[in-house]
Amino acid sequence: MKKKNLLQRAIIIGVVTVVGIYIVIGPHGRRPHFKDFTWSGIKATLAQNISLGLDLKGGSHLVMRVKVEDYLKRLTEDSATAAQNAAKDAGFDVKEARAETTGGNYRVSLQVGDPSKVKDIRDAVEKKVDLSDRTGWSFSSSGNTVSWTLKGATQVALGESATDQAMKIIESRINAIGVAEPTLARHGGQNSHEILLQMPGVQDPEHVKQLLAGQSHLELVHVVSPPSPAPSQTYSTKEEAIASLNSGGNIPTNRRVLPYTERSELATQGANPNAAPPKKWVVVESPAIIDGAELRTATANPARAGGEEYDINFALKKSGADKFGAWTGANINEYMGVVLNDEVKSIAFIKGQIFDQGEITGRFSKQSSEDLALTLRSGALPAAIEYQEERTVGPSLGADSIRSGVRASVLGLALVVVFMLFYYRGSGINAVVALLLNMILMIAGLIMFGATLTLPGIAGIILTIGMAVDSNVLIFERIREELRSGKTVPSAVEQGFGHAFVTIIDTHVTTIVSSLFLYVFGAGPIRGFAVTLVLGLLVNLFSAVYVSRTIFMWLLTHKGKRVESLSI
């Protein structure tokens, strides 16, 4: 062991230690001041440097799932209606259109009158409706049934894009309500259709939850009714409305029966405005004239100046305005309904051609009208979302966790230090130095990689304390063995490190392998645990092997002469 080698090692260790300590307690991104190195200054920068997980600093953690099956179901149903209309428009006889959406299969099928025309019907439908092979539907026919089935790969692709779209919409809603430092990310594997939202500091996510899940699916529809001046046709029960369709109790695919809460009559009659308005039913045409996708903007405004009730005004995009303008121009005196979330909010007859402005009236409170306008502006979610996980941690609970975590770490460290000093005496100091350095470098590593410290992460640190000394125990026990077999001190140290090193590498690699599994497959809190454990083990190769060995080298050389004994 040469002097020069020792000096080189000492310099490396010194630099790493100083850099490590600075990373932990020094301020980042600005010049350090003298007061940064006072006790309170260190505490403040430490709190800034280490990013704490939600379980330690408090906040909400929401996992939501996009109900992609609803999205695919609606797509299939809409396609069935469109296919029937397209076939009829081309002059074919279609008896029935069905959308089968059970058991993960999505199929559109038409019962046609003339089985010999199957090919023509297919061409006619696929010309107008996105049911071709290219868009992911596979065609089949048997007898007088023609059907299109959504391919598995397309289901996956559509599901993914619906989830991505939902995530964008959720992001814009969160930004609109001003949640501080939110984290939004895809969650779980492919096909889980899950989105993770973390909101630090939000203790009660109820309002945010409602706002995000808010469906706000707006449609403008043609109400089936004799034209004005006759009053709009409404029914007092759903059954009555269905009976009016004369289709044997079924609702044909080109019609919908929707509830309608009439409010204008109440106001004119001067009845008690708090009484629940009577619910009526109306029949509307399907598909809608235009829907929320054509919306350019929506705002909440008081219905009357200074009034308690609010309306929502909306404006349409260019393409929607063109469609709407054409329809209103052709349907003067017909009744049109504004449908929000499958409920008719208002019915009005068309006085003249309207292009791009409209209004939803419906006795909204200020809060609910603003929420609705916001969800309308951000666009409709492609499908409903449901919450799969909701975890909230109040700040005092987080502080409790930090306190107990720190206490447990200190106690664990103290117990280990006492044992090492007692059992290995002089060399125990060596192990303790290595252990403390391990702690510092591990925290420095956490800060450098921007990893967040969670409660399981603290558990990982405590466990690392126990596992880190394992390397020293292996080395020391081996050195003792070599000494017992009669070797001189320098060669015992040499042999001890040499033999123990192979074992240390093997044990470290196995633990790192299992931690990698934890990281790759594990959910949030488990990841934090895996990160600290892996960092601790990597650092340990430096602190318990390299640093320990250097200390031994120094002990063996600085006395100048041959060393006869070792305190171990």
Partner 1 sequence: MIRVFRDVNVDWLGKRRIFIGLSIVLMLAGMGTALYRHKVHPNGSEAFNLGVDFKGGTVLIVRFKQAPSVEDLRAAISKAAIKDALIQPVLDKKGQFLVRVPHQGFEESQTGESQAGVDAARDKVREALNSFGAEAEATKSLEEDAKAAYKIEGTDAVGQIASKQLRTQAIAVTVAALIGMLLFIAFRFEWTYGAAAVIAVFHTVLVTLGLFSIFQIEINLTVIAALLTLVGFDVNDSIVIFDRIRENRKLYRRMSLYDVTNLSINQTLSRTVITSGLVFLSVISLVLLGGETLRPFALALLMGIIFGTYDTIAVAGPIMVWWEKRLEAANKLPSLTPRQKGVNANVSREERARSGVGKPSRAA
Q: Rule CB under 8 A: which of 480-519 touch partner 1? A: 480-481, 498-499, 501-503, 506-507, 509-511, 513-518
- Angle separating helix axes 3-25 and 39-49, nearest 10 degrees: 80
Site for partner 1 in 65-104 (CB under 8 A): 65, 67
Hey, which residues between 204 and 233 contact partner 1 (CB under 8 A)?
204, 206, 209-210, 213-215
Q: Hey, what are 139's tokens? A: 């065609």
Which of the residues 381 through 400 are near partner 1 (CB under 8 A)? 384, 386-397, 400
Q: At closest approach, how far in Å is the CB of 122 from partner 1?
A: 36
Number of continuous H segments (helices) and E segments (strands) in the chain = 16, 19
CB of residue 528 vs partner 1: minimum separation in angstroms?
9
According to DSSP, the residues that pair with 235 across neighbouring strands are 281
Residue span binding partner 1 (CB under 8 A) among the ranges 97-105, 237-245, 475-483, 551-559: 475-483
**From start to end of 34-117, where are the E strands?**
51-52, 59-66, 94-100, 107-112
Q: Is 411 in the site for partner 1 (CB under 8 A)?
A: yes
Measured from the CB atom, the residue of 90 and 538 that comes closer to partner 1 is: 538
Q: Is residue 188 near partner 1 by the rule CB under 8 A?
A: yes
Q: What CA–CA distance (Å, rounded) separates 374 from 549? A: 64
Single-letter code of the amino acid located at 313: N
DSSP-assigned letters across all residues of 343-372: EEEEEEE--S---SEEEEEEEE-HHHHHHH
Q: Count how many Cα atoms sit within 13 Å of the Cα of residue 270 in the half-sphere of its side chain.
A: 0
- Measured from the CB atom, the residue of 69 and 359 that comes closer to partner 1 is 69
Cβ nearer to partner 1, comparing 173 with 222: 173
The window from 9-17, 116-124, 351-359, 404-412 that contacts partner 1 (CB under 8 A) reads 404-412
Whose CA is closest to 529, among 461, 468, 441?
Answer: 461
Q: Considering only residues 13, 174, 221, 467, which one is a binding residue for partner 1 as defined by CB under 8 A?
A: 467
Select 50 or 416, whichever has its Cβ closest to partner 1. Answer: 416
Residues 520-539 that bind partner 1 (CB under 8 A): 521-523, 525-526, 529-530, 533
Least distance to partner 1, CB of residue 458, Å? 8
Q: How far is the CB of 209 from partner 1 (least distance, A)?
A: 7
Yes or no: say if 140 and 105 are a contact pair by the CB < 8 Å rule. Answer: no
Of 252 and 522, the one with the shorter C-beta distance to partner 1 is 522
Compute the least distance from the CB of residue 505 to partner 1, in Å.
Answer: 8
Task: Give the integer Cα–Cα distance in Å for 533 and 515.
Answer: 7
**Separation of CA 66 from chain center:** 10
Encoded amino acid at 423, one letter: Y
CA 375 distance to own-chain centroid = 18
For partner 1, the closer CB: 122 or 478: 478
Q: Assess 436 for contact with partner 1 (CB under 8 A).
A: no
The two structure tokens encoding residue 341 = 């979330």
Half-sphere exposure of 448 (CA within 13 A, CB side): 13
Q: Is the dihedral of CA 5, 8, 10, 16 positive or negative?
A: negative
Could you give the string, one character per residue 23-62, with x where binding to partner 1 holds by CB under 8 A and - elsewhere? --------------------------------x-------
224-232, 236-244, 267-275, 416-424 -> range binding partner 1 (CB under 8 A): 416-424
CA distance 502 to 499: 6
**Using the rule CB under 8 A, which residue among 192, 228, 331, 361 binds partner 1?**
192
Tokens of 336: 């049109």
The per-residue b/e assignment along 396-423, b for 16 or more CB within 10 angstroms, e otherwise, is eebeebbeebeeebeebbeebbeebeee
Q: How many residues bind partner 1 (CB under 8 A)?
A: 85
Distance of CA 305 to the CA centre of its chain: 41
Q: How many Cα atoms are found within 13 Å in the side-chain-facing hemisphere of 280?
A: 17
Residue 416 lies near partner 1 (rule: CB under 8 A): yes
Among 10, 251, 348, 408, binds partner 1 (CB under 8 A): 408
Per-residue mark of binding to partner 1, 137-156 (x: CB under 8 A): --------------------
Sequence-ordered list of residues with C-beta below 8 angstroms from that of 538, at least 6 positions apart, any chain:
445, 512
Which of 83, 223, 547, 568 is in the footprint of partner 1 by CB under 8 A? Answer: 568
Site for partner 1 in 447-466 (CB under 8 A): 455-456, 459, 462-463, 465-466
We find the least distance from the C-beta atom of residue 55 to partner 1, in angstroms, to be 8
Per CB under 8 A, which of residues 345..364 are in contact with partner 1? none
Tokens describing residue 499: 């033999």
